[in-house]
A = this chain, B = another copy of it.
Amino acid sequence: MIWDKERRSKAERMEKAAGYAKGKRVGTGEIIPFLESILRPGDRVVLEGCNQKQAAFLAEALTKVNPEKVHDLNMIIPSISRDEHLDLFDRGIASEINFSFAGVQSRRLAEMVAENTVKIGAIHTYLELYGRLYVDLTPNVCLIAADKADSNGNLYTGYNTEETPMLAEAAAFKSGIVVAQVNEIVGEGDLPRVDIPGGWVDYIVKADEPYPMEPLFTRDPARIQEAHILMGMMTIKGIYAKHGVESLNHGIGYNGAAIELLLPTFGDYLGLKGKICTNWVLNPHPTLIPAVEAGWVKQVCAFGGELGMERYTAARSDIFFTGKDGMLRSNRAAAQVAGLYGIDLFLGGTLQMDYEGNSSTVTGGRLSGFGGAPNMGNSTGGRRHTTKAWRDMAPLTGSMASGRKLVVQMTKSQSKYGPAFVPELDAVRIGRKAGMDAAPVMVYGEDVTHVVTEQGIAYLYQAQNAEERTKMLGCIAQGTPVGSMVGNGEIERMRREEKVAYPQDLAISPDAAKRELLAAKSLEEIADLSGGLYRVPEQFRKKSE
C-alpha cells in the first residue's frame, strides 16, 4: 500500500517544473508554463485574494494556462476581488469556487452561477474557510502574495500578513505546492523580518508589478451624515455605556466610523474615557485615529493593513501589534479568533433585515458573501470567561450560559430602495435561484441583541418571543410596514420596560446630532491629528490638490 501519493505527486510536478525554476526562483516570464507544470485537473487551488493583498500576477497568469491541460480546478479564494478570479471559469480552467467575500464581483458571480458557468462549493465566513483547509478543502497548490522574499523563500508580508500564514500552512504540511509572488527578491538575511518561514514556500516569483492595494477600510468623515451621528450617539450612550462595553469590533461602514469619531467628543462629554471601547479587534481604520490620539484606546489587533496607515501604526506600537522592524503585523486568522472569543461586541451595518432580525447584504442579484461578519456576529457557546457586558446578555431561556456577545446591527429604517425591514430577505430568493441549500443570511436573528435605526434602539435580547421581537423592530421603524405591527400603547409599554429606547429616552436631542460633533470632519483633519503620520490615499485626496 502506498501512503505517500501526495508526496510523490508533488515530486513529479516539481520535476516537470524544474526547467522553469532556478532553485526556488521562477522567472517572471515563465510563469504560465510553470503553472501548467505544477497543476493537474481537479486540483484544489488556493488563490490569495485577501482584502488588502491579492496575488494579482498569479491570478492573471492562471487565466492564461491552457484549459486543455488545466481544467476543473476547485478554486479557494477568500475574497473574490478581481476580474481574473471569475475569468478562470469563463475560460474553462476552473469549475467550482469556495469563498468568503465577493465585493465588486458579486453581481457577475450571481450571473455566472445562474448560467452554470461556476458552481459554488459554499460561501463561508473567513475562519470557516480556513478551518476547512485542514479538513476537506486541503489545497494541492497554494498561490500567495508577499512584499519580499529572500533567496531561501522566507517571506516578508509587510503590514498585510492577513491570512497568508493560515493558507500556506495547510498546503505546506500536506504535500501541497506553495508559490509566492513577491514585489521584490532580496539577499539572504536582508528581509526586515520573516513572516512566513522559507521552508513553507516551494517557489517564489517576482511579479511584473507590485500587488495592488485598495483603501477598503477608509471612510471619509466628510460623507458621514447626521443620521449616522444620531445613531452613533444613541449607540454610545444606550449600548456601549449602558453595558460597559470595553472590547469590540466595528464592521466596515459609516456607522462605525461615526461612533469612532464621536468617542473623543460626545464620549468624553459623558465621561466614558477609559470605561468603554478600550480594546479593539479592528482593521486600522483612519477614523479611529482621533480616539487613539485622545487616549481612548489601549490596544488594536488588526485583521489586515490599510493604505496610508503604515507610518501611523508603526509610530504607535503601544497600541498596534508591530514587528521588530516597526511595521504593523496583521493576522486575519488570529484576529477572527480574537473577534469570536475575545470581545464583547460586534457592530455592523446591514442593508436588509427581516421581521425576525435575520439580516443579509445579499440583495439585488448580488452574491456578495459576508467576509468575517458571520463569525464576528454570533455568540460562541464555547466562551467561558465573563464580563459585565457579556453577563448583561444572559439568556432568558433557562440556558446555563452566563451571557452572550452583543451583536449590534445598524440601519436606517428606510432608504431610497425602500424599507430596511422586509417580510422576507432578498437573500432567500437569491439563494433559491442559485440552488443553495441554505439562504445566504449574514447574521441570524437569534444572534442579534440590538438593532439601531435613526428612530431608536431595539434591545432584542430582552424579547420574550418572536412576536415581541418583531414588535420591537416595529417601534424603531415607524412609517414602514413593520412599524404598523405595533400600536402606540405597546410602544409606550416597551419604552417603559426599556426594551426600546428613543433618543429622548436616552436624553439625546436629535438636534444635537450635527457634524460639528465629529472629532474630525475630513481625512485631512485626521492626517493633521496624526501629526502627519497618516497619509490620505490618492483616491481620497481632494481633486483640487
Contacts and interface: CB of A to CB of B under 8 A. Distances in A.
A381 B382 contact: no
B4 A318 contact: yes
A441 B173 CA distance: 35
Contacts of A5: 318
A399 B445 contact: yes
Contacts of A245: none
Contacts of A199: 193-194, 323-324
B402 A437 contact: yes
Interface stretch (A35-43, A330-338, A450-458, A514-522): A330-338
Nearest to A324: B199
A79 interface: no
A343 interface: yes
Interface in A372-422: 374-386, 391, 397-403
Contacts of A133: 338
A136 to B, nearest CB: 5
Copies of this polypeptide in the complex: 2
Contacts of A333: 333, 337
Contacts of A398: 356, 466
Interface in A3-38: 3-7
A527 interface: no
Contacts of A377: 382
Nearest to A197: B194
A54 interface: no
A338 B358 CA distance: 26
Interface string A441-468: 1001111000000000000000000100
B198 A125 contact: no
A399 B446 contact: yes
A382 B340 contact: yes
A337 B279 CA distance: 23
A329 interface: yes
A26 B342 CA distance: 34
A323 B198 CA distance: 12
A281 interface: yes
Contacts of A122: 384-386
Contacts of A174: 299, 321-322
B374 A342 contact: no
A95 interface: no
Interface string A207-223: 00000000000000000
A507 interface: no
A397 B172 CA distance: 43
A240 interface: no
A353 to B, nearest CB: 12
B438 A386 contact: yes
A184 interface: no
A166 B333 CA distance: 10
B175 A317 contact: yes
A123 B374 CA distance: 25
B7 A317 contact: yes
B281 A134 contact: yes
A284 interface: no
A301 interface: yes
A199 B189 CA distance: 11
Contacts of A246: 136
A109 B127 CA distance: 34
Nearest to A354: B400
B301 A127 contact: no
Contacts of A341: 124-125, 127-128, 130-132
A384 B337 contact: no
B378 A374 contact: no
6 contacts: A4-B315, A127-B341, A134-B301, A195-B197, A333-B337, A380-B381
State the 7 A-B residue pairs at the shortest beta-carbon distance, nearest first: A402-B438, A378-B381, A122-B385, A131-B341, A131-B342, A135-B342, A128-B341
